[in-house]
């Protein structure tokens, strides 16, 4: 049996969980989201790491823009409460606050993979001596596809020039020592280190400043994919010192399926002359409408924009970022540590013969996600996942054998954790 996480006066009963929910200073935030129904009640929704719930204010925000479109047509670019011409700027302050950046360093645009390609055009500049990209082994497929294609595009070979950082701890977690060894061994060949803020399958949180320091000492450019980190854990990008970062906003940022993504470019590159795939909206704002033939980039992350802002995609992001601003990421992280700690304690005290946790145990090395594996017979994990879904407990499945559950502090509760554990116990009794 694994060592049990030491409880902070935890108790595995409904009265205790209800008392914690009642005392939660962020409890009212749950009422700002639409919780999907199940039977006569509500789902236990532990899937915010895949698609966040819809804020109640989103519909009104979208309807407002539709009304402006209907009533103002093209004049909506210049009139109305939030004129479309500058709409992406209306999310900038809260977005910068959330990711720990200066406003000039962030922009909401495109999709994550599109942003990754755009920034690799600028920041992956391989040479014969330094052609390689470093990613973690088992990276999210879109990242791997992107970096492989970039390596090939530049005339190099992924079989030799894609370096994978392998796990050296239980369940594939990667130690700081393993990261340091990799840079010591391969740093002279690495043109770009592209690692996650939170590894999607294991839920491990990476130390962004430490990785950046290690990479920069070896002369490597540093980028991060923060798809599972932004809105989950503090990333403090400006102080971390990385060159760039990208993320999506439909997971923890609750901005809707396929919603507009985000990008960070460090301020030291704000006015740098860098190669890029240019687009009209990245042109300097003060002369954009002079329609000149020569591209002059807007200083900062805005200079990587291609097209005018997608208003109907930005409106939900604006709503969500306002919620984060009111809640405060520090308070959300505090609740996340407590809530995820409670779920981990329940799993290791009540479910230790049924499932195991594949996510690092230390609070600072995980966000609000626990990755679980069912012990014993192969295929039982999928059976449990399907049983949970049929009983209104929604996580997600990652091949070949991982159930991911994410007690998100914006809308999840201690009683949700207790209900999850009770359902796993009932499943075990039936199998």
* pLDDT tens-digit series, residues 67-87: 999 999 999 999 989 999 999
- Residue 185: band (very low, low, confident or very high) from pLDDT cuts 50, 70, 90: very high
Lateral strand order in the sheet of 355-357? 355-357, 370-374, 402-405, 396-398
Looking at the structure, tell me whether residues 25 and 70 fall in a common domain: no
Looking at the structure, tell me whether residues 311 and 333 fall in a common domain: no
- Nearest residue to 163 (alpha-carbon basis) of 141, 193, 127, 121: 193
CB 195 within 8 A of CB 167: no
Looking at the structure, tell me whether residues 301 and 390 fall in a common domain: no
Domain count, the chain: 2
Of 325, 353, 385, the one marking the end of a domain is: 325
Looking at the structure, tell me whether residues 209 and 354 fall in a common domain: no
Query: 234-254 in b/e burial notation, b at 16+ Cβ within 10 A?
Result: bbebbebbbbbbbbbbbbbbb
Residue 57 lies in a domain: no
Of 325, 344, 360, the one marking the end of a domain is: 325
Is the pLDDT at 161 greater than 90? The verdict is yes
Of 325, 346, 369, the one marking the end of a domain is: 325
Mean pLDDT score of the chain: 96
Say what the alpha-carbon torsion angle 42, 401, 340, 406 is, to the nearest 10 degrees: -40
Residue 204 structure tokens: 């491990």
Dist CA 161 CA 233 (whole Å) = 31
Looking at the structure, tell me whether residues 163 and 214 fall in a common domain: yes
What pLDDT score was predicted for residue 376?
83
CB 343 within 8 A of CB 336: no
* pLDDT tens-digit series, residues 12-31: 999 999 999 999 999 999 99
Residue whose structure tokens are 């990261």: 179
Looking at the structure, tell me whether residues 270 and 352 fall in a common domain: no
Looking at the structure, tell me whether residues 163 and 205 fall in a common domain: yes
What pLDDT score was predicted for residue 378?
66
Looking at the structure, tell me whether residues 274 and 409 fall in a common domain: no
CB 215 within 8 A of CB 187: yes
Residue 183 lies in a domain: yes
Residue 242 lies in a domain: yes
Looking at the structure, tell me whether residues 122 and 237 fall in a common domain: yes
Looking at the structure, tell me whether residues 250 and 371 fall in a common domain: no
Residue 51 lies in a domain: no
Residue 53 lies in a domain: no
| Mean pLDDT, residues 285-311 taken together | 94
| Mean pLDDT, residues 38-66 taken together | 97
Residue whose structure tokens are 């090939």: 152
- Residue 398's domain comprises 14-32+328-430
Give the CATH number, domain containing residue 172. Answer: 3.40.640.10
What pLDDT score was predicted for residue 1?
38
Stated as kind and residue range, the H or E segment containing 332 is: helix 329-350
3-state secondary structure of 356: strand
| Mean pLDDT, residues 182-197 taken together | 98
CB 229 within 8 A of CB 197: yes
Distance from the Cα of residue 48 to its chain's centroid: 10
Residue 193 lies in a domain: yes
* pLDDT tens-digit series, residues 203-246: 999 999 999 999 999 999 999 999 999 999 999 999 999 999 99
Residue 3 lies in a domain: no
Is the pLDDT at 7 greater than 60? The verdict is no
Q: What values do phi and psi take at 142, rounded to 5?
A: -60, -35
Looking at the structure, tell me whether residues 227 and 290 fall in a common domain: yes
Residue 158 lies in a domain: yes
Q: Please give the span between the terminal C-alpha atoms of the chain, in angstroms, as a whole number.
A: 21
Looking at the structure, tell me whether residues 332 and 405 fall in a common domain: yes
What pLDDT score was predicted for residue 379?
75
What pLDDT score was predicted for residue 6?
47
* pLDDT tens-digit series, residues 322-343: 999 999 999 999 999 999 999 9
Dist CA 37 CA 26 (whole Å) = 22
């Amino acid at each position: 049996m694994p060592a049990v996480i030491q409880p902070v006066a935890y108790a595995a009963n409904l009265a205790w969980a209800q008392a914690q929910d009642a005392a939660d200073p962020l409890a009212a935030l749950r009422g700002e989201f639409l919780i999907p129904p199940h039977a006569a009640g509500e789902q236990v929704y532990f899937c915010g790491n895949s698609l966040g719930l819809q804020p109640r204010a989103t519909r009104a925000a979208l309807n407002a823009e539709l009304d402006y479109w209907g009533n103002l047509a093209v004049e909506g670019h210049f009139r109305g409460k939030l004129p479309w011409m500058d709409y992406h700027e209306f999310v900038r302050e809260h977005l910068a606050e959330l990711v720990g950046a200066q406003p000039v360093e962030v922009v909401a645009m495109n999709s994550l993979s599109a942003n990754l390609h755009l920034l690799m055009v600028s920041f992956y500049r391989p040479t014969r001596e330094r052609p390689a990209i470093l990613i973690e082994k088992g990276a999210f497929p879109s990242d791997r596809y992107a970096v492989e294609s970039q390596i090939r595009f530049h005339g190099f070979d992924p079989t030799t020039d894609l370096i994978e950082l392998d796990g050296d701890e239980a369940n594939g977690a990667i130690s700081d020592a393993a990261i340091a060894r990799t840079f010591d061994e391969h740093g002279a060949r690495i043109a770009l280190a592209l690692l996650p803020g939170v590894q999607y399958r294991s839920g491990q949180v990476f130390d962004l400043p430490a990785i950046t320091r290690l990479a920069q000492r070896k002369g490597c450019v540093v980028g991060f994919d923060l798809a599972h980190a932004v809105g989950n854990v503090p990333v403090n990008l400006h102080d971390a010192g990385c060159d760039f970062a990208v993320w999506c906003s439909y997971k923890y940022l609750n901005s809707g399926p396929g919603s507009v993504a985000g990008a960070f470019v460090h301020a030291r590159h704000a006015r740098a002359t860098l190669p890029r795939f240019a687009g009209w909206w990245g042109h300097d704002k003060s002369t954009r409408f002079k329609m000149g033939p020569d591209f002059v980039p807007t200083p900062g992350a805005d200079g990587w924009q291609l097209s005018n802002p997608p208003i109907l995609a930005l409106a939900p992001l604006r709503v969500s970022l306002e919620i984060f601003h009111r809640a405060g990421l520090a308070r959300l992280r505090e609740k996340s540590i407590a809530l995820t700690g409670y779920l981990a304690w329940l799993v290791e005290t009540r479910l230790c013969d049924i499932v195991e946790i594949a996510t690092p145990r230390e609070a600072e090395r995980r966000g609000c996600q626990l990755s679980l594996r069912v012990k014993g017979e192969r295929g039982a994990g999928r059976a449990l996942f399907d049983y949970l879904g049929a009983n209104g407990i929604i996580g997600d499945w990652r091949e070949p054998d991982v159930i991911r559950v994410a007690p998100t502090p914006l809308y999840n509760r201690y009683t949700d954790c207790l209900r999850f554990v009770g359902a796993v116990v009932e499943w075990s009794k039936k199998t």
